[in-house]
A = this chain, B = another copy of it.
Amino acid sequence: MQKTSKKELILYHARESFSKNGYELTALEAIAKECDITKPAIYYHFKDKAALYKAVICPEFTAVALKIEENTKMGNPIQRLENYIKIFGEFLISNPTFNAIFAREIANGSSTMPDECVEQLSRTIKQLISILNDGESAKTFTKEPPFLIQMMIVTTLTSYNTTQPLREKISQYVQNKTTQAEPNFHNIIDALSQKIIKGLLC
């Protein structure tokens, strides 16, 4: 049985902390402690804090880009857009740490996002543009700004995940008599998908 390497362990705990606390509030000393090593050991494996952050997030951006490309090439524009939303949404559920980090990057204007990640993100948007263009040519979809659609999909999903505690607090104030059970996240993906596609149809 293969022991996970120290480097992998550092990446694991770094991901947890960046996701939970954000970049600024992540202390390398704390990560080291969780790995049962000392801080300079982190500097042995990574040049600095920024490099560690990069090492944490870049593979996830690459993974999502790959999954999107693999799953949104076939079918008619509606099916492809459904898949785009579904794949993105399910990736976010399966990778809550990525969800949290991505949400913060967007809120930050991505000023600190490594170029490598921007490039990977561009691949997914390229795919979305292709879907929207095809749908438009086929007179299935109306012409819309692709970035707007991207925001409607991605930020709605990420923020729905990050705001669960907020929703609970708000519920106390709202006292919605007709409160329905909080829909689970898979339902949210479906509901969002239906609404966006309906909104786009000619």
Contact = CB atoms under 8 A, between A and B. Distances in A.
A199 B194 contact: yes
Nearest to A144: B191
A165 interface: yes
Interface string A176-202: 101010110001100110111011110
Interface residues of A, number: 61
A125 to B, nearest CB: 6
Contacts of A62: none
Contacts of A1: none
B196 A195 contact: yes
B109 A165 contact: yes
B160 A148 contact: yes
A139 interface: no
A174 B129 contact: yes
Nearest to A118: B169
A8 interface: no
Interface in A92-144: 100, 103-104, 106-111, 113, 115, 118-119, 121-123, 125-126, 129, 133, 144
Contact of A122 (B110, B147, B148, B173): B173
Interface stretch (A43-51, A79-87, A149-157): A149-157
A143 to B, nearest CB: 8
B163 A151 contact: yes
19 contacts: A22-B108, A24-B24, A104-B107, A106-B159, A109-B162, A109-B165, A110-B169, A115-B169, A118-B173, A119-B173, A123-B173, A125-B170, A126-B173, A147-B160, A147-B163, A148-B156, A156-B156, A198-B201, A199-B199
